[in-house]
């Protein structure tokens, strides 16, 4: 691992990713704002790293956490949205972003002077970050996969339904109803590490408390 690999410029890497998302305007505002969620995964990764009591490749992992969703900048949005509707092909297209992210990340890291070996390991993490069924995962992949989920929980997850509501011209009342209905902690079973599961439980408690508070806003005899 060369000197640059040992000292990645995380801020510069993040700025490169932000530029990509800004060119694809869907991903720099509203419910799909990857300028926010990529940052959240990076910060969540740092928290998990500090709780892990075993050797791991910190620089590799933090770099991958910033770049993991960069492939979304290559997605065909006409296979995801049509005006204000989600298309039936949206999940298929979303599923391509890990593979599409590999060449994007390679280009960014080569321009910043990182070694081929470092880039190869980053590429593995990006390609497999959504593959929950993969066997014999490295500790770095386990952490990245968990940070990807936990970073989007709690307050961050609470914000998103309102952003979706704005995009699809939905009443605030309907966004609140959606959160009340979809409040189960279903993603905890997808996590790899016990540390991550404990973090997720805390985040779900935060969201649950917020839902209880906001549900009072529609406690009225004017609506069903």
User: Domains (ranges, CATH) in the chain?
Assistant: 3-218 (1.10.3210.10)
Tokens, residue 60: 């590799």
137 has a pLDDT exceeding 70: yes
Identify the pLDDT of residue 87.
76
- Rounded Cα distance between 25 and 32, Å, is 9
Identify the pLDDT of residue 185.
62
Identify the pLDDT of residue 84.
67
Q: Are 122 and 60 in contact (CB under 8 A)?
A: yes
Query: Judging by beta carbons within 10 Å of its beta carbon (0-12, 13-18, 19+), is residue 219 exposed, middle or buried?
Result: exposed
Identify the pLDDT of residue 76.
87
% pLDDT > 90, the chain: 71
Identify the pLDDT of residue 213.
94
Tokens, residue 13: 């890497």
% pLDDT > 70, the chain: 97
Task: Tell me the three state secondary structure of residue 120.
Answer: helix
Tokens, residue 217: 């806003």
């Amino acid at each position: 691992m060369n000197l640059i690999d040992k000292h990645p410029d995380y801020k510069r890497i993040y700025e490169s990713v932000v530029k990509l998302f800004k060119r694809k305007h869907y991903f720099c505002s509203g419910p799909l704002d990857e300028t926010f969620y990529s940052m959240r995964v990076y910060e969540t990764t740092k928290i998990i790293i500090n709780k892990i009591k075993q050797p791991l490749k910190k620089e590799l992992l933090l770099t991958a956490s910033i770049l993991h969703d960069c492939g979304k900048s290559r997605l065909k949005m006409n296979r995801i949205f049509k005006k204000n509707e989600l298309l039936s092909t949206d999940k298929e297209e979303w599923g391509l972003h890990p593979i599409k992210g590999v060449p994007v990340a390679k280009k960014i890291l080569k321009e910043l002077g990182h070694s081929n070996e470092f880039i190869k390991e980053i590429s593995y993490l990006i390609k497999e970050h959504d593959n929950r069924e993969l066997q014999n995962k490295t500790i770095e992949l386990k952490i990245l996969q968990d940070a990807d989920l936990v970073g989007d929980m709690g307050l961050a997850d609470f914000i998103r339904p309102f952003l979706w509501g704005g995009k699809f011209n939905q009443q605030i009342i309907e966004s609140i109803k959606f959160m009340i209905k979809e409040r189960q902690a279903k993603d905890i079973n997808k996590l790899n590490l016990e540390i991550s599961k404990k973090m997720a439980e805390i985040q779900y408690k935060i969201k649950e408390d917020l839902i209880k508070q906001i549900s009072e806003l529609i406690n009225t005899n004017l609506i069903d």
